[in-house]
Structure 1
């Protein structure tokens, strides 16, 4: 881009995006650009810093900041005058999100969304934060103060910016380096497992503290260590997690499915968004636990969660699964899910007293004057007749709730999250004796393998309204290969095994690091500052952890020694520090 005449028009350019999150911002007075070489070239031509805002459609605080700042004409005018403004959907570009979230952590800040980062025109981060209020509060400056302060520092060529830029870029590159070591042995795994057990809440389950996240990769690892190492404490913390969550407010007792996390330490008050990846992993964990220690609660929650998936999350003519449901409806967090005592009384009549007592419904409410349904105080079954009455009550309230304005749904299809869901449905179908659950798993697999595969055979990451977008990442290949192996074991159909091998081979060609493990982005990725490489599991399992599992399974199924060598090399690339193994339980 040689002169300003060739610059994009000074207007919001998100109207042609496919991402629901970007489209939510298409009407902002901010001159948003989507991520890409055009936006970076514009910043370089103008010599302006970049304001990068990353979020997702179901994010409550993203909506809050959008309403307070991005919809405000004065704030937008300041942003447009001082910055090239780029908006990213973290679910559509998790590689970009991970890179700049790592940069924020390196700056000593807590992570979260919306992620607000300030970059050089070349995309190098130098400062950032998360949510900024419209006025100074909670010891944080206002967003407009931040905008002006960063712009002034940039114009003055503040040495701190130059120092931060170089230091952060170097640190991000070092984070992607291997940390080699031998494959962990039984004694090492035992220490890691027992260390994780000690970090759990012995009363409420999950990891100690608040907010509380489900952390399925950690608890899946502990369940496996129970059987591998004979450690009953590992199984007990998994069961405590599942039982406390399944009777808490984080679970939707009317419609099924788990919210993303609890803001408190007792699983009562959720952040009300429901994510596909959480529910897929928790469904698989319920199946694992039920297979080892059968419990009617696990079976009930699995059936209800699958019911929610098939009723509310299917998209693309029932062939794949949508990404998430929003926390907000009618502009209020949780409004769709909460109840007033008077509503319950009017709908349930003489059965209301029983329901109110069991599900913690009171006049004053248990959250901001409203009631979040939960069975924390009545977790044990109350007898067949009483439970039948409660089931009728739930059905009545569910029918009434269906007349409310529902939360929005992000209906894009993500290859990696659909892979997690396919594998979970396959395992749940076997454990709970529901072969009918295999059918939606097969349809979703066929959709991703067909509609989300480019002409050169490579996977694409996202799909919406007839259009696939974003190059496939390591997690897409690994998750779909794992799903293919699950379907192969369930059906015996060789085509699923062929898919798994083809995707595992593609990972070797496009993502392999020379010293072991795999980068998140393919080697031909042109729009990332640093190619990330990590085995750390977060809310979703890491691509390296999934690949090690796929490679080990391929060795078991085919007897081909190269897959064993690949698995050992993948694990060995990250095994150098024992204290780091707790952060990568899937590996």
Structure 2
């Protein structure tokens, strides 16, 4: 045997192609090899930007002694979790069922059928960090596999049964979901907010944007200012903390501390897409200069550093450079003074730079002591000084870029970028979003309209999964709203047809994988958010909007079936169901804005601008030259222009408002509705 990862395209797998470990990719051939050899499988899952993956690689996978032990005792499989979220989700769930905290690198031990029996995450080479040494683990697991098969079988059977139960239709009472229930859940979410530093929970602290959106939606419904404070406090803390790159824009994946100061420095496309989406929603209400600045800076980073030659967006930026976590982003006091001169003192005061460092003898730039924007003149000067530091930073060795194009993550960012383009009247952003959408559909889609999950080096790979279709369909609907091009609406309808054909479960809801995809030990089906929103939760919004835009009944019924299928989970644990809950509101309480007019009319643009003054998370905008094509039972059917001007109607349920043909009247209508 030998290491064969040089044949792969994933940057993460290619990072390991020169390891002395005989790494194999995930395949049926590799599973068959384990059966022939009579060896257990060591499955290692990670991703290119993962700091602790690098640590374990340097300590163990690059070590000849450890590699020899791995090669002798196991068949070793390496998986990129971003390329194969279906595999990652199964074995992360298995680890949680063993009572262990999940994460990456994931280290799981399987039999030749791919059935797990034990695992963990990061293991140091020698015992430490309160964890057993990796070499000791290898020897012990191999010994149990050979000499105590009954233990292996017992663990395997228990995990298989638990996995099967988790992916079957939830049992138990299905509570009747109402807006009042959503508000009670939002109050419960808000109780988990950190009153001192902002955000949900304690260290390590993740953005959890879908939970914050749930709280924000409840604020919009109820007017409870305490809920608004939870969300704005979190966004300010993230945007002024060290988790934000104050020189280059963009947010790191999470903070290792409760105060948002010390990030895990990797930047992920999906985090930034979701944070942008939430900031846009909140900015419509509070017009925060800080949020606007962070939106522009983050989109600047996206277009500057994350746009591939194809026009689609790259996946991640590494946490490490030159083998050191955060080296690219951190500064000493002397470096700041050398570049900024006499102004270094004021800059250091505002950005938390200290002579002795604020983290491991160096400094992470942050503004936690100065969370509010200062006067415009001072902010302008600080931006100039940050530009000087940024120019100097550009000379450093850059963190690695994982430039593979992931369909689902691109869908998230396309939607956020197009929304931002509409909101801030930045047509270039909409154009870039359209370009990424075109890239995905030209590079990662078959002639039959089926999507692939990943694209790199001219190769589209891995059969598209639920999240790919869900997020790209959502992006298509945003682009339809932004451009009025029916092409996007048709594409979304085609993808929903594919989902209904290949992903729908007879018991309700969509499977993560298609019925003709590679068979794994379980076919995952749930509505739980992970690092990205749950596909089933996202599709409630997509299907609801399709219903309202086209009048077709089937999308509404499918969305209702998803709600019915997974609502039993609410009685057990609603915390990972935020996207599901958020989009239920859109299903039952959508605010339809019907504008009878042409897109290029000044009055139409005036009406659209008025919408920007209202945070409307369940909003659906449809611009029509006439309402003749609306379904016969649509409440706006037959509505016309008033005084031959572009005219807006606000429709909820079976009722539409009076006409508004100017921004003043539309604002009045929206204020009444709120």
Query: TM-score, length-normalised on structure 2?
Result: 0.84
CA distance, structure 2, for counterparts of residue 581 and residue 379 of structure 1: 32
Q: Find out whether 1:95 has 2:96 as its counterpart.
A: no
Which of residues 530, 543, 546 is equivalent to 1:538? 530
Query: Alpha carbon RMSD of aligned pairs, Å?
Result: 1.1
SS in structure 2 of the partner of residue 366 of structure 1 = coil
Cα deviation code 1:90-135 (max 9, x no counterpart):
0000010000000000001011100000000110000000000111
Q: 1:356 matched to which residue of 2?
A: 348
Query: Does structure 2 retain, via aligned residues, the 8 Å contact 1:135–1:141?
Result: yes
Q: Find out whether 1:309 has 2:320 as its counterpart.
A: no
Q: 1:216 matched to which residue of 2?
A: 209
Which of residues 243, 261, 267 is equivalent to 1:274? 267
Q: 1:126 matched to which residue of 2?
A: 117
Structure 1 residue 158, shift from structure 2 partner: 3.1
SS in structure 1 of the partner of residue 579 of structure 2 = coil
SS in structure 1 of the partner of residue 43 of structure 2 = strand
Query: Does structure 2 retain, via aligned residues, the 8 Å contact 1:323–1:414?
Result: yes
Q: Find out whether 1:457 has 2:458 as its counterpart.
A: no
Cα deviation code 1:285-315 (max 9, x no counterpart):
1111111221111110000000000000001
What is the correspondence of 1:5-404 to structure 2 with a 5 Å cutoff? 10-179=1-170, 181=174, 184-317=177-310, 319-404=311-396
SS in structure 2 of the partner of residue 314 of structure 1 = coil
CA distance, structure 2, for counterparts of residue 25 and residue 88 of structure 1: 11
CA distance, structure 2, for counterparts of residue 49 and residue 277 of structure 1: 34
Query: Does structure 2 retain, via aligned residues, the 8 Å contact 1:287–1:432?
Result: no
Query: Does structure 2 retain, via aligned residues, the 8 Å contact 1:193–1:222?
Result: yes
CA distance, structure 1, for counterparts of residue 130 and residue 383 of structure 2: 47
CA distance, structure 2, for counterparts of residue 316 and residue 182 of structure 1: 49
Structure 1 residue 31, shift from structure 2 partner: 0.4
Q: Looking at both structures, which has the greater relative contact order when contacts are Cα pairs under 8 Å and sequence separation is at least 6?
A: 1
Structure 1 residue 431, shift from structure 2 partner: 2.0
Cα deviation code 1:491-545 (max 9, x no counterpart):
1100000011111111111111111111101112234110111111122100001
Unaligned runs of at least 5 residues, structure 2? 581-674
Q: Find out whether 1:480 has 2:466 as its counterpart.
A: no
Structure 1 residue 381, shift from structure 2 partner: 2.2
Query: TM-score, length-normalised on structure 1?
Result: 0.97
Query: Does structure 2 retain, via aligned residues, the 8 Å contact 1:176–1:531?
Result: yes
CA distance, structure 1, for counterparts of residue 131 and residue 316 of structure 2: 30
- Name which of structure 1's ranges 67-76 and 197-206 shifts more when overlaid on structure 2: 197-206
CA distance, structure 1, for counterparts of residue 226 and residue 560 of structure 2: 28
Q: 2:552 matched to which residue of 1?
A: 560
Structure 1 residue 582, shift from structure 2 partner: 2.8
SS in structure 1 of the partner of residue 436 of structure 2 = helix
Q: 2:411 matched to which residue of 1?
A: 419
Which of residues 432, 457, 467 is equivalent to 2:424? 432
Question: Is the radius of gyration larger for structure 1 or structure 2?
Answer: 2
Query: Does structure 2 retain, via aligned residues, the 8 Å contact 1:36–1:527?
Result: no
Structure 1 residue 182, shift from structure 2 partner: 5.2
SS in structure 1 of the partner of residue 187 of structure 2 = helix
Aligned residue-pair number = 577
CA distance, structure 1, for counterparts of residue 367 and residue 134 of structure 2: 41
Structure 1 residue 267, shift from structure 2 partner: 0.2
CA distance, structure 1, for counterparts of residue 14 and residue 515 of structure 2: 30
Cα deviation code 1:135-175 (max 9, x no counterpart):
11133211010001011111113321110111101110111
